[in-house]
C-alpha cells in the first residue's frame, strides 16, 4: 500500500464516514465535508503531470491475491492521469453543485454522497488499475453505484426502471468483458495490461484473440452507450442532475472509451478492431445526434447528445488504430485521429458537464425541463444563458470554443480514412466522412434547439410551476468554471496539449514511440482553407437552415415506426424473457408426479442408452454362466406371471396379492441360491409389507372408488419398456465384463479366524461392515419416528390456530 493506493481507495474510506457526519452534524450540508476529498485528490493528481510529461509513469503494486496473479497494481500514465484529473476535477465541481442542488432538509444526503463517493473511488480504480481483474472489480462497482444513483429517488417508477435497465445492460457488458479478460489470460498467463502488450505479437494469430477482443468491446460498448446499447443512457436521466452531469456525461460513460484506448495497443492491429470500433462509433454518432433533435426534454437531448459524442470519440479511436500500421512517427497521418479523440474527450467533459448543470439550474428554478413549456429565460437568467451558449456552441463545433478545434480534427481524421490502404478502407471509407458530416449537422441543430428554445422566444410564465429567477451563486460556480475552461482551451489549446494530451497519446499508441521520443502536438485555430473548414461552414449553413425549417421536416421522425425502436425491442425482449420462461416452466413443471417420473426415466434411458451406444459398451458372453435348473425356471415363470398379473389386473386387491406372490417367489429364489438369511428376512418383510398394502387398500376413500383397469398409454409403455431394456443390457454387459477379482474370498477365508463366526453374512453385517448396519438401523429408527409423528401430529387447521 502506498499513498497512491490510499488515494484510489480514499473515497471508499470517506464513504464510511459520511453517514456519521450526516447524523451528527445536521446544520451543515454534508456535501461541504465531502467536497474536501475530490479537491485534495485533484491537487494530488496534478502533481503527477510533470513526471508524465517527461515520459515517466508511476507504478506501485499492493498484493491482493498473489497466488492467482491478481494484484492491485496502480499505474499512473498519461491516459490514466487524464481520466483521474477528469474524475476528481469534475467530481469536485459536481459535489459543489450538488450542495446547492439537493436540499439539506428534504433529501437523504448521506445515501447520495455515499453512492457518489463509491462511484468516484470505483472510477479512479478503473482508470488507474493495471491488473484486469482489479479493473473489472472496480468496473462492476461503477455499475453498481451508478445503479444506486439512478435509482436515488427510488419512490419514482421511472427511476427504478432506468436503474434496472442500466444495470442489466452494463452488467451484461461487464460480464462479457470479464470473459474477454479471462481469454486474454489464457493466452498470455498474465492479468497485467502492460505485460499483455508485450505478448501481442505472439498471440495475434491465436484463435481466442478475436473472441477476447469482441467480448471486451462488448463491455466497452455497453458502458459507453454505443449503438445499439445506448438505450439505457436516456433512461438514466431520471437520476438527480449532478449525477447525470458527473456519471452520464463526464466519467462513467467514458469508461468504455478508456477501455478501448487502454487496450488499443493490444488489439488495434487487427482489421476487426479498426472496423468494429470506428463503424460502431460513427453509427452511434449519427444515430444519437439524429435522435437528439426530436427530444423535448432537455436532459433527453443531452443524453442523446452524449451518446452521439461518445460515438464520435469511439470512431476516432478506431481510426487512430490505423496509425499503428505505420512504424514511422513522421508523416503518420492517422495519429491525428487519436489526438482528436483525446482532445475531444477533454472538451466533451467540460462542455457537457456545464450543459448538464445549466439544465439542472433551469429545472431547479422553473420546475420543468420540457422545452415546449420553456422560453424567454434569457433576461431572467443571464448568467445561465451565457454558460449555455458557450457550452452549446462548443458542442456544435463553433469557433472560438474548444469544440471547434476537436471537431476540425475529427473531420481531418475521418477524411484520412479514405487514404488508409489496408482492410478495404479505400473502398468503404467514404461513409465515414459522410456520416460524420451528417451527424455534425444534427449536432449543430440540437445544440441550437437546446439554447434557443430554452432561453429565447416567448416567455410562458403560466406553464411554469415556479417563478423563475437566477440560480444561487454556488450553483453557478461549477458551470462557470467549466465554461471558462471551454473558452481557455479554445483559445490556448496548447496549455493542455504538452502536459496532458501528449502523455495520454503515448499510452494509447506506445509502440509508435522510440526511446526518448514524444508526440508533437500543436493545436491551433487556423488551418488555412482546408476541406475541414468547408465542411464546418457547410454544417453551419445547413444547420441554420434546418433549425429555421425544423417544424416543417420534423415529420420525418414519425416515419420511423414506434414499434421498431430499440427501446421497444428491449422492453419486449425483457417481457418475452419473462413470459417465455414462465411458459416454459409451466410447460414442464406440470405438478404431476407421473410427468416428473416420465422425465426422470426418459433421461435415464437416453443417457444410459446413448452412453452404451456411443462407447460401444454392450457385450455379452456366456462363458461365466451357471446352468439353469428346473427350479429356477419354474420360479422365474411364476414370478413373471405374477408380475404380469400386477400390470394387467383389474382390481387393486389382485395386484397386491400378485405383488406378494412376487415377493415370496423372490424368497424362494434366495432359498435355491443358498441365501438363508435373505430368505428368512424376505419372507417376513414381504408379509409385513403386504399387510400394510392391504391396510392402505382398506382405507381408500369411498367416494369415487371405482375399480377401473389401468388405462394404456403408449408413451408410458415405451418408457417402461426402454428402462427395462436398458437396465437389462447394462446388467448383461456388466456380468460379461468381470474385470477384477471378487473380494468374497477374503470373507470366506477370514470370517471364522478373525471374527469368530461361521455365519459369514452375519459376520459381514455386524463385524466387517458393521458401520453400514449401524446406519441402516438408524434409518429404521427414523422411519418409525416419521410414521409415529405423521400419524400422531395431525394438526388440522383449527388446531393450528388455537
User: Under the rule (CB under 8 A), what is the footprint of another protein?
Assistant: 676-677, 680-681, 684-685, 688, 692, 695, 755-759, 761-763, 765-767, 770-771, 773-774, 777-778, 780-781, 783-785, 787-788, 791-792
Give the residue among 77, 87, 81 at the shortest CA–CA distance from 122.
87
What is the closest distance, in whole angstroms, from the C-beta atom of residue 742 to another protein in the complex? 22
Distance, in Å, from the CA atom of 763 to the CA atom of 236, rounded to the nearest integer, reads 75
Q: Which CB atom, from 616 or from 756, has the smaller least distance to another protein?
A: 756
The helix/strand/coil state of 734 is helix
Q: Is the dihedral of CA 460, 464, 468, 473 positive or negative?
A: negative
What is the closest distance, in whole angstroms, from the C-beta atom of residue 744 to another protein in the complex? 17
CB-CB contact of 539 with 439 (8 Å): no
Exposed/middle/buried for 767, CB within 10 Å: 0-12, 13-18, 19+? middle
Contacts 24+ apart (CB under 8 A), 425-433: 425/274, 425/322, 431/282, 432/278, 432/282, 432/315, 432/319, 433/535
What is the closest distance, in whole angstroms, from the C-beta atom of residue 686 to another protein in the complex? 11
What is the closest distance, in whole angstroms, from the C-beta atom of residue 762 to another protein in the complex? 4
What is the closest distance, in whole angstroms, from the C-beta atom of residue 788 to another protein in the complex? 5
The residues, ordered by sequence, that sit 6+ positions from 547 with a Cβ below 8 Å of its Cβ are: 444, 445, 448, 449, 452
Beta-bridge partners for 131: 192
Cell reading at 273: 478492431
What is the closest distance, in whole angstroms, from the C-beta atom of residue 800 to another protein in the complex? 19
The helix/strand/coil state of 60 is strand
In order, the DSSP letters of 616-630 are T-----STTPPPPPH
Cell reading at 294: 426530436
Q: Which CB atom, from 647 or from 777, has the smaller least distance to another protein?
A: 777
Beta-bridge partners for 63: 71
Bond prior to 228 in cis (omega within 30° of 0) = yes
Distance, in Å, from the CA atom of 302 to the CA atom of 307, rounded to the nearest integer, reads 9
What is the closest distance, in whole angstroms, from the C-beta atom of residue 680 to another protein in the complex? 5
What is the closest distance, in whole angstroms, from the C-beta atom of residue 700 to another protein in the complex? 15
What is the closest distance, in whole angstroms, from the C-beta atom of residue 629 to another protein in the complex? 22
Distance, in Å, from the CA atom of 686 to the CA atom of 659, rounded to the nearest integer, reads 9
Distance, in Å, from the CA atom of 276 to the CA atom of 283, rounded to the nearest integer, reads 10
CB-CB contact of 368 with 404 (8 Å): no
Q: Which CB atom, from 68 or from 684, has the smaller least distance to another protein?
A: 684
Q: Which CB atom, from 720 or from 759, has the smaller least distance to another protein?
A: 759
Cell reading at 118: 463509491
What is the closest distance, in whole angstroms, from the C-beta atom of residue 666 to another protein in the complex? 16
Q: Which CB atom, from 473 or from 777, has the smaller least distance to another protein?
A: 777
Cell reading at 148: 444506486
Beta-bridge partners for 75: 59
Q: Which CB atom, from 25 or from 778, has the smaller least distance to another protein?
A: 778
Q: Which CB atom, from 13 or from 784, has the smaller least distance to another protein?
A: 784
* Grid-cell match 455379452, residue found: 620
Residue 70 φ/ψ, nearest 5 degrees: -110, 105
| Measured distance between the N- and C-terminal CA atoms of the chain, rounded to whole angstroms | 63
What is the closest distance, in whole angstroms, from the C-beta atom of residue 743 to another protein in the complex? 19
Distance, in Å, from the CA atom of 364 to the CA atom of 474, rounded to the nearest integer, reads 13
Q: Which CB atom, from 552 or from 674, has the smaller least distance to another protein?
A: 674
Q: Which CB atom, from 404 or from 670, has the smaller least distance to another protein?
A: 670
What is the closest distance, in whole angstroms, from the C-beta atom of residue 791 to another protein in the complex? 5
CB-CB contact of 252 with 123 (8 Å): yes
CB-CB contact of 723 with 604 (8 Å): yes
Distance, in Å, from the CA atom of 664 to the CA atom of 684, rounded to the nearest integer, reads 9
Q: Which CB atom, from 714 or from 779, has the smaller least distance to another protein?
A: 779
What is the closest distance, in whole angstroms, from the C-beta atom of residue 777 to another protein in the complex? 5
Q: Which CB atom, from 6 or from 777, has the smaller least distance to another protein?
A: 777
Q: Which CB atom, from 197 or from 755, has the smaller least distance to another protein?
A: 755
Q: Which CB atom, from 201 or from 770, has the smaller least distance to another protein?
A: 770
Amino acid at each position: 500500500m502506498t499513498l497512491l493506493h490510499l488515494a484510489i481507495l480514499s473515497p471508499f474510506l470517506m464513504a464510511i464516514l459520511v453517514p456519521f457526519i450526516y447524523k451528527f452534524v445536521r446544520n451543515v450540508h454534508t456535501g461541504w465535508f465531502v467536497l474536501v476529498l475530490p479537491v485534495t485528490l485533484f491537487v494530488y493528481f496534478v502533481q503527477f503531470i510533470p513526471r508524465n510529461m517527461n515520459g515517466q509513469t508511476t507504478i506501485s503494486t499492493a498484493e491482493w491475491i498473489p497466488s492467482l496473479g491478481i494484484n492491485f497494481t496502480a499505474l499512473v500514465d498519461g491516459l490514466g492521469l487524464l481520466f483521474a484529473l477528469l474524475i476528481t476535477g469534475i467530481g469536485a465541481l459536481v459535489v459543489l453543485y450538488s450542495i446547492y442542488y439537493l436540499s439539506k432538509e428534504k433529501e437523504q444526503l448521506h445515501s447520495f454522497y455515499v453512492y457518489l463517493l463509491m462511484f468516484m473511488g470505483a472510477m479512479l480504480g478503473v482508470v488507474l488499475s493495471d491488473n484486469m481483474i482489479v479493473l473489472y472489480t472496480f468496473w462492476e462497482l461503477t455499475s453498481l453505484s451508478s445503479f444506486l444513483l439512478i435509482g436515488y429517488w427510488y419512490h419514482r417508477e421511472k427511476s427504478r426502471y432506468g436503474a434496472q435497465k442500466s444495470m442489466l445492460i452494463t452488467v451484461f457488458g461487464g460480464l462479457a468483458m470479464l470473459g474477454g479478460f479471462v481469454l486474454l489470460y489464457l493466452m498470455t498467463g498474465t492479468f497485467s495490461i502492460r505485460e499483455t502488450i508485450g505478448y501481442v505479437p505472439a498471440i495475434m494469430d491465436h484463435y481466442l484473440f478475436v473472441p477476447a477482443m469482441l467480448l471486451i468491446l462488448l463491455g466497452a460498448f455497453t458502458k459507453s452507450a454505443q449503438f445499439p446499447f445506448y438505450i439505457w443512457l436516456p433512461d438514466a436521466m431520471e437520476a438527480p442532475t449532478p449525477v447525470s452531469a458527473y456519471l452520464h456525461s463526464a466519467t462513467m460513460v467514458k469508461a468504455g472509451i478508456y477501455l478501448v484506448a487502454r487496450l488499443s495497443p493490444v488489439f488495434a492491429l487487427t482489421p476487426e478492431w479498426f472496423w468494429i470500433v470506428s463503424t460502431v462509433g460513427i453509427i452511434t454518432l449519427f444515430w444519437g445526434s439524429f435522435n437528439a433533435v426530436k427530444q423535448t426534454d432537455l436532459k433527453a437531448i443531452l443524453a442523446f447528445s452524449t451518446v452521439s459524442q461518445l460515438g464520435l470519440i469511439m470512431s476516432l479511436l478506431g481510426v487512430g488504430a490505423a496509425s499503428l500500421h505505420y512504424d514511422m512517427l513522421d508523416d503518420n497521418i492517422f495519429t491525428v485521429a487519436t489526438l482528436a479523440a483525446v482532445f475531444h474527450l477533454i472538451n466533451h467533459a467540460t462542455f457537457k458537464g456545464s450543459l448538464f448543470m445549466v439544465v439542472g439550474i433551469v429545472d431547479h428554478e422553473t420546475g420543468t425541463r420540457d422545452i415546449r413549456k420553456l422560453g424567454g429565460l434569457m433576461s431572467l437568467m443571464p448568467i445561465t444563458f451565457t454558460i449555455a451558449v458557450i457550452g452549446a456552441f462548443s458542442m456544435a463545433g463553433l469557433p472560438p470554443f474548444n469544440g471547434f478545434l476537436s471537431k476540425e480534427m475529427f473531420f481531418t481524421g475521418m477524411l484520412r480514412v479514405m487514404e488508409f490502404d489496408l482492410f478495404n478502407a479505400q473502398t468503404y471509407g467514404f461513409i465515414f466522412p459522410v456520416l460524420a458530416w451528417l451527424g455534425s449537422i444534427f449536432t449543430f441543430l440540437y445544440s441550437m434547439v437546446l439554447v434557443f428554445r430554452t432561453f429565447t422566444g416567448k416567455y410562458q410564465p403560466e406553464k411554469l410551476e415556479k417563478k423563475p429567477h437566477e440560480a444561487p451563486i454556488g450553483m453557478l460556480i461549477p458551470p462557470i468554471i467549466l465554461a471558462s475552461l471551454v473558452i481557455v482551451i479554445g483559445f490556448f489549446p496548447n496549455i493542455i496539449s504538452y502536459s496532458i494530451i501528449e502523455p495520454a497519446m503515448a499510452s494509447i499508441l506506445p509502440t509508435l514511440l522510440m526511446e526518448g521520443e514524444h508526440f508533437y502536438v500543436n493545436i491551433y485555430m487556423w488551418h488555412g482553407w482546408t476541406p475541414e473548414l468547408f465542411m464546418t461552414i457547410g454544417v453551419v449553413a445547413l444547420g441554420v437552415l434546418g433549425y429555421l425549417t425544423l417544424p416543417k421536416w420534423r415529420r420525418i421522425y414519425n416515419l420511423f415506426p414506434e414499434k421498431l425502436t430499440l427501446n421497444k425491442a428491449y422492453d419486449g425482449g425483457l417481457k418475452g424473457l419473462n413470459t417465455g420462461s414462465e411458459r416454459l416452466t409451466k410447460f414442464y413443471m406440470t405438478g404431476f408426479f407421473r410427468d416428473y417420473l416420465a422425465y426422470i426415466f426418459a433421461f435415464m434411458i437416453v443417457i444410459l442408452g446413448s452412453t452404451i451406444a456411443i462407447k460401444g459398451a454392450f457385450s455379452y458372453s456366456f462363458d461365466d454362466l451357471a446352468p439353469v435348473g428346473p427350479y429356477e425356471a419354474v420360479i422365474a415363470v411364476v414370478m413373471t406371471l405374477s408380475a404380469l398379473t400386477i400390470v394387467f389386473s383389474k382390481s387393486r386387491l389382485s395386484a397386491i396379492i400378485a405383488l406378494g406372490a412376487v415377493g415370496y417367489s423372490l424368497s424362494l429364489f434366495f432359498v435355491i441360491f443358498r441365501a438363508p438369511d435373505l430368505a428368512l428376512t424376505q419372507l417376513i418383510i414381504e408379509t409385513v409389507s403386504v399387510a400394510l398394502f392391504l391396510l392402505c387398500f382398506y382405507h381408500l376413500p369411498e367416494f369415487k372408488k371405482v375399480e377401473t383397469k389401468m388405462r394404456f398409454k403408449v408413451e408410458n409403455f415405451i418408457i417402461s419398456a426402454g428402462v427395462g431394456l436398458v437396465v437389462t443390457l447394462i446388467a448383461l454387459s456388466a456380468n460379461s465384463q468381470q474385470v477384477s477379482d471378487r473380494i468374497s474370498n477374503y470373507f470366506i477365508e477370514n470370517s471364522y479366524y478373525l471374527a469368530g463366526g461361521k455365519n459369514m453374512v452375519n459376520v459381514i453385517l455386524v463385524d466387517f461392515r458393521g458401520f453400514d448396519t449401524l446406519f441402516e438401523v438408524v434409518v429404521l429408527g427414523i422411519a418409525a419416528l416419521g410414521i409415529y409423528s405423521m400419524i400422531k401430529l395431525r394438526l388440522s387447521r383449527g388446531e393450528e390456530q388455537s
